[in-house]
Amino acid sequence: IPTVYESITVTINEGESYEFAGNTYTQAGTYEGHFFTDLGCDSIVTLTLIVTTPVDNAYALPIIVAPNPVLGGQSTFVNREWTAEEQNGMRVEVLNAVGQVVDVFTPATFPIEVSGIYTSGIYYIRVTSGTGEVYLGRLVVK
């Protein structure tokens, strides 16, 4: 029996779910589904799920991202005095102009270094502190 390999890409908004191969997904990632006939496995589908998050958070506090703009591949920094409580459990998200998360990390040093962006465009740096405050800064990569 020939096996067919297929790839699909689906984009959903944060808070939504996507049904695929009998499972429900809410997190961005790559998932594989095996689909069977009476004769056995006849197709394997790879799903790339993209989850977009809104960047226009009305409750976000502004932060300064500098240097700004930067050239592709250059580092930039979020420099702010963070308390130990804010640092504990902190999450940094880098979003592109349409709200797709392109990087998520827990900062290891302060000021927070943001690096690894090589594609030119407008990005948003969203920092969620360990105490729940959300900070938002804009970055231009040339």
Sketch the domain layout of the chain as residue ranges. Answer: 4-52, 61-141
User: What is the helix, strand, coil percentage profile of the chain, to 5?
Assistant: 5, 55, 45
Residue 94 neighbours by CB distance under 10 Å? 19
Confidence class of residue 97 from pLDDT cuts 50, 70 and 90? confident
**Is residue 87 over pLDDT 70?**
yes
Q: Tell me the percentage of the chain whose pLDDT exceeds 90.
A: 63
Query: What is the share, in percent, of the chain residues with pLDDT greater than 70?
Result: 92
Q: What average pLDDT does the segment 123-132 reach?
A: 93
| Domain spanning 61-141: CATH 2.60.40.1220 | yes
pLDDT at 37: 74
Is this model's pTM higher than 0.85 or not?
no
